[in-house]
Structure 1
């Protein structure tokens, strides 16, 4: 037995003033992107690699300078004692690309083959991520819903509200669109360059330009659509209640 009366309402969980699912998702997206600085840090190494490859055709230089640019950004973060998450993400992406380049070189690939190999991890990642996002929507457990759950204190409570599930499904589909578009546009070019249907130089140049053009600009367009959706709705967040 407890001293608390049976009919006394259970205390609600605090959520830093957040009252709607839309506000929760906006806050979580901002945190995930790291703001303007986080987006810039993620983009700089890729831009450096692409520009140097297109202008010098020297793969070693392009990789070295792009890694160096990421390390400079990392050093700045360390000096400022701020989060290094987004710089490390960029370094990880470059590292995976460099690994694929090395694998191509070990198999006797030409400089063009190696440059094409650098772009392959991005295509694979976007294909896998778009499939994962679509799958979570199709089974009725959209990924964005777990963002809501991480704030409300219950990872799955949001799933009991059909209105929230529909909203989170729409937002998850919007996240999947940029990934799917990158695969649809870039994969045929990669395969064409690899097979010789188009000149490897042309394929590498196209992939380099598209990696930038379909990177953050496309992601920001999707996020703008998400913000528009979020601004139109006011879906209450259901807080978890302590059990008796």
Structure 2
């Protein structure tokens, strides 16, 4: 029975993490509007490219409604793209469409780095919230180290995005920014998930000897 329970956890946890992020459709919602913006801009202007990007985001939102899925991720995507489009159109600088994303990556890199540095790794809190374990991992040194390393990993991934894309932003290379954002979006995120899973899997929670319900293990 214990083995079966473990199998169930291994089977269920990755979809749960993807669900929290909106699934493949949710990830596409965050990347394709930027692709559309970068693809249209060379042939039009900032305002037209911004409108196209917002339209793509709206189409995704409508698709979720038609499929009777939760519109939460679609709405957040529309708001994010709409804000980026507003910044670009208002400033008259096409590269400013990518400015909110750059600032967000900088913030994520800083938060993950600080949380790991003070031994309160954000990855631990995220995984603990997703699997219902809470903060019990803080009393387990091997798992605390694993979550700390994973948090440093995510800080590095967000920092890498910033290191590559910021010079392109400063240079006003809109098309190159769109390519870099797409190339470093889903692939880099998937790599982060995989490496995090491997780090955490090595130090799964051990069941307690006391009877009664037990917190699920972390994958």
Identify, as 1 or 2, the structure richer in helix: 2
- Given that 1:189 and 1:207 are in contact with CA atoms closer than 8 Å, whether structure 2 keeps it comes out as yes
Instruction: Please show how residues 85-100 of structure 1 align to structure 2 within 5 Å.
Output: 85-100=72-87
Q: 1:217 to 1:76 in 2, by over 3 A?
A: same
Distance between the aligned counterparts of 1:25 and 1:135, measured in 2?
26
Distance between the aligned counterparts of 1:185 and 1:44, measured in 2?
19
- Which structure has the greater CA radius of gyration? 1
Look up the match of 2:146: 167
* TM-score, normalization by structure 2: 0.80
In the alignment of these two chains, the number of paired residues is 206
Look up the match of 1:134: 113
Distance between the aligned counterparts of 2:8 and 2:126, measured in 1?
13
Structure 2 residue ranges without an equivalent (≥5)? 209-213
Look up the match of 1:219: 189
- Given that 2:61 and 2:74 are in contact with CA atoms closer than 8 Å, whether structure 1 keeps it comes out as yes
Q: 1:152 to 1:79 in 2, by over 3 A?
A: closer
Q: Which has the higher contact order (CA 8 A, sep 6+)?
A: 1
Structure 1 residue ranges without an equivalent (≥5)? 1-16, 106-113, 194-199
Look up the match of 1:206: 176
Root-mean-square deviation over aligned CA pairs: 2.7
- Given that 1:19 and 1:236 are in contact with CA atoms closer than 8 Å, whether structure 2 keeps it comes out as no
Task: Give the 3-state SS of the residue equivalent to 2:111 in structure 1.
Answer: helix
